[in-house]
Structure 1
Amino acid sequence: MSHTASVKAVISPKAGAVAHRSEIISALQADDIFDHIRPSAPDFADALNAAYDTQAAVIVGTGEATFDSRLAAATGAAHYLVAGVDDDAVNVQLAAGQLVRDGRVPAGICILKHSGAPTSALTAEGEAIPYVSLDEISKAERREPVIGPELFERNLIHQARAKKAHIVLPEGDDDRILIAADQLLREKVCRLTILGDPSAMAARAKELKLDLSGANLTDPTSGTQLEEFAEDFAELRKHKGVTLEEARETMKDISYYATMMIHKGLADGMVSGAAHTTAHTIKPSFQIIKTAPGSSVVSSIFLMVMDGVLWAFGDCAVNPNPTSEQLAEIAAVSAQTAAQFGIEPKVAMLSYSTGTSGAGEDVEVVAAAVEKAKADNPELQLDGPLQFDAAVVESVGQKKMPGSDVAGKATVFVFPDLNSGNITYKAVQRTADALAVGPILQGLNKPVNDLSRGATVPDIVNTVAITAIQAG
């Protein structure tokens, strides 16, 4: 059996020491032990996050487990490979070799045996790596993690789980929603209400071998809440001439019903759009939830995750031709959203021209947006107009906009219009093998997020996790 644990609770025996299994387990914190014979990548990532929480290096138990060396290398932590019994020695050596081939040398290999433990083990290159003590491990250099899609997705789950949010999913007649709900419930990401015919959803879940017992399955077309919601909606929209009878019909629409749940405090956020248009998803939000205080525009960002890179792109989904005032607001709120997900915001206002090198109405709109955004948010690192290469390549940025704190170092990119933003995010997603998470809507009073009708189950899981984080 293999164990993965944070380092501070692991005993590394000296040469020739006797290490019985009971002694090893008693030295481990119970919460850090994974009893899976073949732990999955998510289990491994969970252990790594626990290790970061304790500022520790990472112990990787191999044994009969599948050792995910790419995921291990991505963390940037010091790695110690541990074998639990005699037969594991071969596996731990293979794991060490793979780690080396992926560009990382393990800091130490510990082989725990009942007797006769050797004084060292070998890397794939034949170099001897001696046993290391707990004190040595604790002092090991801790490198910054290198972000990648796998690690980012696991971090989303961890952040969302801590928020304990309640998310409503209106599209309970879509298999992808039910499958995603099963995964979200198993991982305790959030509480869920799923709208639809409860009997039909339960029957379909049984066919798909899903467990939805932890979700609240709700029929939006019946019950006392429908009348209450209709009365509230009629009151909210009476200035538009909406009657109670019209409100009753409107509330039978799943998006309106779910949005009213958020307005009434019965849910913290909503995710929809797997089977409906963006307009169908967000129109009720404009009428019921409305914009957040101080916001005049609803916009979106995509989180673009590549090996070693985490960027935010906005607005790629909502506003076709934003004004300079809207661009300035989109820049500020995009920086806030990016910071929620671990990005240090350095905002580049993009254009086909850098600085004052070009002229034209489109460039002038961006230049005016930069001026307003800086005036409204003096603490924000923001610059522009910037061409994309000047925003991301330091040598180009220094040449085209010397002295800028953002040029060549940008992490948040604000596109001048929907055309350029949508094209760019899709180009990066498809050609750079990037994970594109979004669109994440921003500027609303409560979190509502839209799915693509081509959304996969992982897309839905990620979007629900993001919505839970926003709700917190």
Structure 2
Amino acid sequence: MTRSVYVTGIDRGDGRQIVELGVMELLTRQVDRVGVFRPLVHHSPDRLFELLRARYRLSQDPATVYGMDYHEASALQAEQGTDELVSALVDRFHTVARDYEVILVLGTDFADTQLPDELALNARLANEFGASVIPVVGGRGQSAESVLAETRNAHRAYEGLGCDVLAMVANRVARDDRDAIAQSLGSRLPVPCYVVPDEPALSAPTVAQISQALGAKVLLGDDAGLARDALDFVFGGAMLPNFLAALTPGCLVVTPGDRADLVVGSLAAHSAGTPPIAGVLLTLNEVPPKEILTLAARLAPGTPVLSVAGTSFPTAAELFSMEGKLNAATPRKAETALGLFERYADTGELLQRVSAPSSDRLTPMMFEHKLLEQARSDKRRVVLPEGTEERILHAAEVLLRRGICDLTLLGPVEQIRKKAADLGIDLADAQLIDPATSELRDSFAEQYALLRAHKGVTVELAYDVVSDVNYFGTLMVQEGLADGMVSGSVHSTAATIRPAFEIIKTKPDTAIVSSVFFMCLADKVLAYGDCAVNPDPDARQLADIAIQSAATAAQFGVEPRIAMLSYSTGTSGTGADVDKVREATELVRSRRPDLRIEGPIQYDAAVEPSVAATKLPGSEVAGQASVLIFPDLNTGNNTYKAVQRSAGAIAVGPVLQGLRKPVNDLSRGALVSDIVNTVAITAIQAQNPNEKAVAQ
């Protein structure tokens, strides 16, 4: 069973960080404790490890990550030979390996290393570590024939040196050649070969990286603007009309600082979205007058304007030699890289070949990974009514870059585009609809009037109602133009779910709509229901909530063991509140005898084995409950918030259950990651064949 994966190459410039990041993503889906080891490093801290540590919340001591620096390795090899170098690195590897289930090894980078036969060194280290190898071949600027030859030669070289080759990756190949190369390699190599096309956004430096490299002064711009990728460089010298025609999406405008007309013109073009630019770089140490900068700030808020002392020619030379790097400060590049890897590599096949031991625990990170992978496996369309909200736009960028689902954003289209441009977000793959001007408004008004005729709703009144983004989005779901909806980042819960109650309604076999929170604790995920919708459910409703919550938990990989919570365990207490829980428990048993359930039961007996052994010995639920059903909203809402704040748990939800089609509500304090998770959950709910059967 493979417990270490060694990602390496054959030459510099292969962009293998995409593969290293993608493999780390795969490993952390399966295993709780993943370590990282880089045998040789140019300098510490290493930017890729810092990215991995930040993204995957690694607790590994950075001092244990690196074997030795290249100068030390070169000297040791020269003085005592390769065997001594390898021996020292193997010792340091095993020191790390003792503490982790799987190790991701980051091979040498073939850049200014002064090490002879670096490929052979990587192969030997992989063998000594007992690691399987994923060689990466860089294809930028090469013909299809050259990429084919180099990839086959690399496989032959590593296999000939005794390596267990898991898969080959040809990276940064020309997009036009990608399919032909993949087809040819697939028939000529005995291992899987993944061919990844070149992606300009990955190699493009961010404005912040350019600023740092040039020692530029930031005159205007915020963090979001500085995080934009500079996809092109346009040098200003022409008159304004000709200059504007030369602008390209995502370009960095480079112009002498005394050309106020070009500064204002390019920012005005950005504000209009024709096209959105990355920023402006002023040369000659010239700064426009204060009045011009004030106008610039109003035209394109957040868009960077930088100033450097040099002239345009040496500045251009430096710019063209820069390349964007994946690091902890470029999370958007990481999303792009993962989306690219997951699109062109068969991650299921690769994970099976890695054979990483599956963990018995379900950690928060593993749960989040599984959500995204499950949503991606059968893509659905989710409508986001709050299309002008900044957090929604950032979440949309992540969802689109990772290929998690298709998106429709609602709101004034030009306003959405301008906001996205100001944030440096590309919404080219999203559908944008303004309910107020959409051609769907008339038919939606007729449909809503028909549904609400019993309440006296006329077509004229409905025409006004359906211009509301939440009603419009809900009708899109009802009419099959979207598979689910997520709202609530700036709307109340009532504004989000009332249209669903009126239009989508509950499933035929469901008494009420309820909710569940997935509570991601340090080493497990629990489902809490109902903590958001029903104030004081009766016994029948409580039983319904339990059955719904068990189904939701199972759908998302949490094996349902239901605890019907009360202030009393077993037969130790009496009273109306305890009797309600006891009756609800019996109703669940009679309706779903296949479900494991215990109740009434106290929280400590439900989740703590030692307490369960005393209070309910022999129970198959007590001490290991995974679905906890609270007797009322007051208890449930306060408990989930107490656990969230006091235990540092991640609360994912509320996830609504019982509707014919999925609609989910966000907290108005939702973070971008919360929105991403909720959209993924909504997409997965839409995959449920039972949901689709009802829709038909």
TM range (shorter): 0.7 to 0.9
- Checking the alignment, whether the CA contact within 8 Å between 2:97 and 2:103 is kept in structure 1 is no
Answer 1 or 2: higher relative contact order, Cα 8 Å, separation at least 6. 1
| Partner AA of 1:66 in structure 2 | F
How many Å apart are 1:286 and its aligned residue?
A: 0.7
Normalising by the residue count of structure 1, what TM-score does the alignment of the two structures yield? 0.81
| Partner AA of 1:157 in structure 2 | L
CA deviation string 1:420-455 (max 9, x = no partner): 111111111111111110000000000000001111
What residue number does 1:104 align with? 100
What residue number does 2:16 align with? 35
Cα distance change on mapping 1:356 and 1:205 into 2, 3 Å:
same
Q: Which runs of 4+ in 1 moved over 6 A?
A: 8-12, 49-52, 57-61, 80-83, 85-95, 105-112, 116-121, 128-141
- Checking the alignment, whether the CA contact within 8 Å between 1:184 and 1:190 is kept in structure 2 is yes
Distance (Å, rounded) in 1 between the aligned partners of 2:625 and 2:360: 19
Secondary structure at the counterpart of residue 395 of structure 1: helix
Distance (Å, rounded) in 2 between the aligned partners of 1:279 and 1:92: 60
- Checking the alignment, whether the CA contact within 8 Å between 1:182 and 1:210 is kept in structure 2 is yes
- Checking the alignment, whether the CA contact within 8 Å between 1:299 and 1:442 is kept in structure 2 is yes
Cα distance change on mapping 1:11 and 1:173 into 2, 3 Å:
closer
2:177 aligned with 1:196: no
How many Å apart are 1:409 and its aligned residue?
A: 1.1
What residue number does 2:626 align with? 411
What residue number does 1:46 align with? 25
Cα distance change on mapping 1:141 and 1:220 into 2, 3 Å:
closer
Task: Choose from 400, 415, 436 the match for 1:185.
Answer: 400
1:311-326 alignment runs, 5 A limit: 311-326=526-541
Secondary structure at the counterpart of residue 304 of structure 1: strand
Structure (1 or 2) with the greater helix fraction = 2
Secondary structure at the counterpart of residue 66 of structure 1: helix
Cα distance change on mapping 1:106 and 1:293 into 2, 3 Å:
closer
Distance (Å, rounded) in 2 between the aligned partners of 1:140 and 1:202: 44
2:680 aligned with 1:465: yes
How many Å apart are 1:345 and its aligned residue?
A: 0.4
1:283-302 alignment runs, 5 A limit: 283-302=498-517
Distance (Å, rounded) in 2 between the aligned partners of 1:200 and 1:243: 31
- Checking the alignment, whether the CA contact within 8 Å between 1:305 and 1:435 is kept in structure 2 is yes
Cα distance change on mapping 1:81 and 1:442 into 2, 3 Å:
farther
Q: Give the fraction of aligned pairs with identical amino acids, expressed as a percent.
A: 45
- Checking the alignment, whether the CA contact within 8 Å between 2:383 and 2:485 is kept in structure 1 is yes
Structure 1 unaligned segments of length 5 or more: list them: 1-5, 13-18, 23-32, 75-79, 122-127
Distance (Å, rounded) in 2 between the aligned partners of 1:217 and 1:118: 50
How many Å apart are 1:108 and its aligned residue?
A: 10
Distance (Å, rounded) in 2 between the aligned partners of 1:301 and 1:386: 19
| Partner AA of 1:104 in structure 2 | Y
Distance (Å, rounded) in 2 between the aligned partners of 1:368 and 1:183: 45
Distance (Å, rounded) in 1 between the aligned partners of 2:449 and 2:121: 80
| Partner AA of 1:35 in structure 2 | R
- Checking the alignment, whether the CA contact within 8 Å between 1:69 and 1:99 is kept in structure 2 is no
1:3-82 alignment runs, 5 A limit: 21=10, 35-36=16-17, 40=21, 43-48=22-27, 62=38, 65-66=48-49, 68=52
What residue number does 2:369 align with? 154
What residue number does 2:440 align with? 225
| Partner AA of 2:540 in structure 1 | E
- Checking the alignment, whether the CA contact within 8 Å between 1:157 and 1:189 is kept in structure 2 is yes
Cα distance change on mapping 1:141 and 1:286 into 2, 3 Å:
closer
2:449 aligned with 1:449: no
Secondary structure at the counterpart of residue 17 of structure 2: coil
What residue number does 1:246 align with? 461
Distance (Å, rounded) in 2 between the aligned partners of 1:73 and 1:145: 19
Using the TM superposition, name which of 209-218 and 149-158 deviates more.
149-158
Structure 2 unaligned segments of length 5 or more: list them: 42-47, 60-64, 75-84, 109-117, 133-161, 167-352, 688-696
Cα distance change on mapping 1:251 and 1:362 into 2, 3 Å:
same
What residue number does 1:268 align with? 483
How many equivalent pairs are there?
434
Cα distance change on mapping 1:130 and 1:369 into 2, 3 Å:
closer
How many Å apart are 1:59 and its aligned residue?
A: 10
Task: Choose from 207, 213, 233 the match for 2:422.
Answer: 207
2:390 aligned with 1:144: no
Distance (Å, rounded) in 2 between the aligned partners of 1:170 and 1:108: 41
How many Å apart are 1:293 and its aligned residue?
A: 2.2
Secondary structure at the counterpart of residue 382 of structure 1: strand
Cα distance change on mapping 1:81 and 1:373 into 2, 3 Å:
farther
Distance (Å, rounded) in 1 between the aligned partners of 2:393 and 2:104: 44
| Partner AA of 1:245 in structure 2 | E
Task: Choose from 596, 599, 617 the match for 1:384.
Answer: 599
- Checking the alignment, whether the CA contact within 8 Å between 1:355 and 1:385 is kept in structure 2 is yes
Secondary structure at the counterpart of residue 655 of structure 2: strand
